[in-house]
Chains A and B, each alone.
Chain A
């Protein structure tokens, strides 16, 4: 009866206070739209200045490779001066420079040089751009040699296949990871706030003097927000599959099982935070710093854990989102790969138990 009373109260509060519903349902939509459409790790339509000092047939063929590519938005110019100006003004990210003697040298089979200048401020982007330029240029060389009958019998050929995300869409990679971040927010932030709110408004003191047990107060908080979180999860998955066309290759059951485990961990973190910080402002600060930011940075959602320094890699093991991201990415893109799912799920079970256990221990039916 007591537990039911607490849960009914919680549900009524959720219904009356639009902010928790907004966190559970509006936030995933906003974040998914923002990241799904706004953030792309692919470089497309990179603005490039193509400087051809003496245009002729050979340079036109070379330039065609850039002008026709979907990776570049090339604009031709005839003087290096002009190209450098736009480079400094950030209008272009790279310059491809063919000197006036390019065609002549090419004909004489002497070393015809192409100068490439790439803006290296954003190192990742610079690497991508120079890779695309290399590719375009290689393609041109291959066609040149085919045309002149030289390279027909290349000794080594690369047969490249990309697995799991064959179209190399960064959305396929980002959206599943993003779900982990969203769930962290819903789970930890929401519970951290609602427990702290009870302390702040003085309702906790009134609850504590009733014969209710601490266990009941905690479960009364966990269950309704678990349901709310799973609702947010369902919405996110639906958006991923139908709006962003992310393939879902594993089974729905594994997906929701993993999510339930992770949500318990996140709720546990939230409850722990708010039993320590009894004020909504501090609780939300801690929730963001201790759960949201690590989930963003250290979960492998955007930044590859394998390329982090060993110390940081070690640190990622205490970030619950890391295990969830691994489960999500394999369920969405690869299918039910048990070798990935089981150890990660086991890690989540341990973390959920630890957080909920500490919370239970720390919450005494006392005011100190």
Chain B
């Protein structure tokens, strides 16, 4: 976490005006029969020479805003000024002087690093004689120099992102637009990307507009624009946002109790706006002028101590979203029949032994072994391409392993895949729902697929609609639902047959922080009822919610254990209380350098 004084600043010259001005800009899209208002009368000015962060939940309009600024879309209404030019009328000139990196930067994966650079140098009209020095500078800055002849498709996710940035920077732009450059990228590359952005700001006098879904990154920006449902909710330095919540944030430390239980009880407490697990403690954000009376919130004899802490940006962001969406939803899941009672306290329901999966000569997963006990929440943590999804697909019997043995619910998936599958629920990354069916039709379909019929099916669907608060949306087309609701419905569908083991593949990626909190609440409830939950994520802070986790990189497990134990490994003299991110970075750096995939 950076404090404001740590963020590098450039001396402002007197002539600096705004590099980007939006005045009263609206943009609507027609999606099928529906009209989506992506931006509604957005006005903001971006000052020169600073990093402006664009923060907002998925679907808030961040990408639309970026594309409008790059002259790729035409506003329905309003004016956009980029570096003094009209972005709509003068889009070619605008494009010649800005750099824009889309969310999935269009690298040609079948071209090498050098060939990609050459292409963008040609397109940007960089003179031949200027190239060698520019290339050298960029390669040195991104650390890609040793890989210039490698195909872009064979780079790791973080390296791809850095190459994308290098291609965007080949002709030094005055304004740099970065659309979620750090999403799904491993923490090491994330830190490196930020270092590059700071360097550009200082050395090349660039102004940067950067959108992100990681709230801790907001604090690395000089100024933050909060966007929600197409509206600007505020524009201020991040410290000013959190200043409003000063004195309302606390850390609750306790001992002798499961932290998820404590978090759950505190979240339901009077006047609590937000309660999240932070390390081994629980962070509380209280409503204005409410004293946290933790003892009355906690059941049973738990020793808890409350300690006030400075507010951070995330606290104010959540408070802002909460006040907009109104009260907190009541959440509890009651499984109609609790799955089999605990037989032995540590019954291993999943055993993975020396598993590898090869695609051609490329190992997506290699030598992976772990086991999961019943009722445990087990996390697989890693960047995109670390092998998490491949491991999951093997566990669900969707992909046979090349080597090794997998036992799920005591069954060998290669022999009894169907029998094992009846006992597991799987929610895939893309929420495999039928977008053109309604919520009810989806539930009907998935319950039938799992062999429910008659009264049992009706009852189960009623349960699903009620527990996941989908009654009001039963006849809405699933494809039109906001992402958070899609995720809820997908989870519902995976739970229709009351599985003993639930696999959740990146369930929270792209979902806004409120929906993420709600989602983890439901996972807690399931774990309480001894459902085993396996979950993959690339959000470091979500790892704290797991009982145990495995950190994966380049197809291997780097560390395995309880979050506290994993963090303990990273403890050092000048970092006595490392975060999960510190631990992850430490593991990758000592493990096999920051350059994985070969």
Q: Which residues of A contact B (CB under 8 A)?
A: 1-2, 4-6, 8-9, 12-13, 16-17, 198, 201-213, 365-368
Contact = CB atoms under 8 A, between A and B. Distances in A.
6 contacts: A13-B108, A201-B109, A206-B102, A210-B123, A213-B92, A366-B74
Interface stretch (B52-60, B111-119, B326-334): B111-119
A206 B151 CA distance: 18
Interface stretch (B43-51, B93-101, B245-253, B345-353): B93-101
B444 interface: no
A210 B102 contact: no
The 3 closest A-B pairs by CB, nearest first: A5-B122, A203-B106, A206-B106
B120 interface: yes
B481 interface: no
A205 B102 contact: yes
B67 A201 contact: no
B110 A211 contact: no
Given A202-B104, A205-B72, A367-B73, A4 B122 contact: yes
A211 B74 CA distance: 17
A27 B211 CA distance: 46
Contact of B110 (A16, A205, A206): A16
Contact of B91 (A16, A203, A365): A365
B108 A202 contact: no
A245 to B, nearest CB: 40
Contacts of A366: 71-74, 91
B550 interface: no
A17, A198, A210, A365 — most chain B CB neighbours (10 Å): A210
A39 to B, nearest CB: 37
B354 interface: no
A213 B72 CA distance: 13
A201 B106 contact: yes
Contacts of B110: 12-13, 16-17
A207 B100 CA distance: 10
A368 B74 contact: yes
B74 A5 contact: no
Given A209-B95, A366-B74, A204 B106 contact: yes
Contact of A6 (B96, B121, B122, B164): B122
Nearest to A213: B92
A209 B72 contact: yes
Given A201-B109, A207-B106, A367 B72 contact: yes
Given A8-B118, A365-B71, 10 more contacts: A4-B122, A5-B118, A5-B119, A13-B108, A16-B151, A203-B107, A209-B72, A209-B98, A366-B91, A368-B29
B11 to A, nearest CB: 30
B557 to A, nearest CB: 31
B447 to A, nearest CB: 30
A210 B73 contact: no
Interface string B81-98: 000000000011001101
A203 B108 contact: yes
Contacts of B98: 209
B379 to A, nearest CB: 29
Interface in B107-153: 107-111, 115, 118-125, 151
A295 to B, nearest CB: 30
B167 interface: yes
B92 to A, nearest CB: 6
Contacts of A206: 100-102, 105-107, 164, 167
A365 B87 CA distance: 12
B183 interface: no
Contacts of B111: 9, 12-13, 16
Contacts of B531: none
A12 B119 CA distance: 11
B493 interface: no
Contacts of B365: none
Contacts of B118: 5, 8
B201 interface: no
B164 to A, nearest CB: 8
B553 to A, nearest CB: 25
Given A205-B72, A211-B96, A2 B106 contact: no
B100 A209 contact: yes
A213 B91 CA distance: 11
Interface residues of B, number: 36
A208 B72 contact: yes
Contact of A211 (B95, B101, B106, B167): B95
Contacts of B91: 365-366
A93 to B, nearest CB: 49
Contacts of A208: 72, 95
B262 interface: no
A212 B107 CA distance: 16
A2 B70 CA distance: 20
B17 to A, nearest CB: 23
B96, B120, B123 — most chain A CB neighbours (10 Å): B123
Contacts of B67: 367
Contacts of B29: 368
B105 A202 contact: yes
Contact of B125 (A1, A13, A204): A1
Given A9-B111, A9-B119, A211 B102 contact: no
Contacts of A210: 95, 120, 123-124
B494 to A, nearest CB: 27
A204 B105 CA distance: 10
Contacts of B115: 9, 12
A223 B450 CA distance: 54
A5 B108 contact: no
B269 to A, nearest CB: 45
A63 to B, nearest CB: 64
Contacts of A6: 119, 122-123
Contacts of A204: 106
B70 A209 contact: yes
A202 B124 contact: no
A209 B97 CA distance: 10
Contacts of A9: 108, 111, 115, 119
B74 A8 contact: no
A201 B109 CA distance: 9
A210 B72 CA distance: 11
A29 to B, nearest CB: 24
A142 to B, nearest CB: 69
Interface string B28-44: 01000000000000000
Contacts of A211: 92, 95-96, 123-125
Nearest to B179: A205
A19 to B, nearest CB: 11
B493 to A, nearest CB: 25
B73 A2 contact: no
Contacts of B96: 211
B92 A8 contact: no
A8 B123 CA distance: 12
A178 B558 CA distance: 59
A2 B72 contact: no
Interface string B62-75: 00000100111110
A36 B121 CA distance: 48
Nearest to B105: A206
Nearest to B67: A367
B215 to A, nearest CB: 25
A13 B121 CA distance: 18
A14 B325 CA distance: 52
